[in-house]
Amino acid sequence: MKSTPTTMSFRYRAFRRFMILLGRILFGFTVHGAENVPKTGPLILASNHSQYADPVLVNMAVPRRVQWMGKKELFVFPFGKFFRFIGTFPVDRQSGGRAALRAALDYLENGWALGIFPEGTHRNDGTAKDAKSGVVMLSARGNARVLPIYMGHIPTPAERLRGAKLHAYIGQSMTIDNTLKGGKAYREAADEILKAIYALPEKHTVKLGEER
C-alpha cells in the first residue's frame, strides 16, 4: 500500500515507529501537542530549523505523512531513494521556483501535509532568523492551515546523562487570511508564524506550571 494524504505505507509506518523508539532510547524523544495535528485536509508544518535531522524529527513528531521540498542536488546516489522515501521531492532552484511552487500547491490541493522551514536554511545558534514569505503565500493560495512546530536541540551524550531530552512542541494550527496582498503583508504574517514557533517551549512550561 502506498502512502496517501491520510495514510502511511507499511514501510514508512515501520520506519517511523523504529525511529521514534530509537529517539526515545537515545535522546528521550518527547512530543508535546500531538493532539493539535489535524487528521485530514491540507496542512503546512512550519518548524524552526536548527539541525540537519529536523525533517526526519518532524516526521517522527507528526502522525501524518509529510512532503518536503529539497534542492535537486540532494538527489544523488545513494541518497536519492532515502530522500524520496521520507517524503522529499526535488526542486530546481535555478528555474526561479515556479515549478516548486506548483508542486507544493498540487500537494496541498490533494490534502497533503507539507513541511516548510520559514527561516529557509538551518541555523544552530538557537535564535530566530527573518522568516521567508513563502509559507504565507502557500497557505493563502493553497487554503491550508499552518501548524507551528518547535524542534528542540538533540542532546549530546553528556547532556543526556544529566537528564536532557529532545523535545518537540506542536502548537495550535493557524488560519492565514487568503485576502492578503503584497510582500509587506506576507512578511508580517510570516513573522507572526515564526514568533508563534519560538514561543512554544515557553508556553508549554507556563502551562505545566499552571497545572501544578
Q: What is the pLDDT along the chain (212 residues), one digit of tens a residue?
A: 778 888 999 999 999 999 999 999 999 999 999 999 999 999 999 999 999 899 999 999 999 999 998 777 777 777 778 888 888 887 776 665 677 888 899 999 999 999 999 987 665 555 556 788 889 999 999 999 999 999 999 999 999 999 999 999 999 999 998 888 778 899 999 999 999 999 999 987 756 555 54
Question: Helix or strand or coil: residue 90?
Answer: strand
**Cell numbers representing residue 59 in the block:** 516526521
65: closest CA among 84, 79, 78, 49?
84
Residue 207's pLDDT is 64
Residue 140's pLDDT is 93
- What residue segments make up the domains of the chain, in order of their start? 10-211
DSSP conformational letter for 147:
E
DSSP conformational letter for 174:
B
pTM given for the model:
0.88
Tell me, letter by letter, the H, E, C secondary structure of 39-79. CCCCEEEEECCCCCCHHHHHHHHCCCCEEEEEEHHHCCCCC
Residue 123's pLDDT is 58
Quick check: bond before 78 cis, omega within 30? Answer: yes
Amino acid, single-letter form, for residue 112: W
Cα end-to-end span (Å), the chain: 45
Half-sphere exposure of 180 (CA within 13 A, CB side): 23
16: closest CA among 70, 87, 119, 111?
87
Q: Which CATH number does the domain 10-211 belong to among 3.40.50.300, 3.40.1130.10, 3.30.360.10, 3.40.190.10?
A: 3.40.1130.10
Residue 69's pLDDT is 83
Q: Strands 113-116 and 88-91, how do they pair?
A: unpaired
Residue in this structure with the C-alpha cell 502512502, named with its chain if needed: 3
128: closest CA among 193, 70, 68?
193
Residue 208's pLDDT is 57
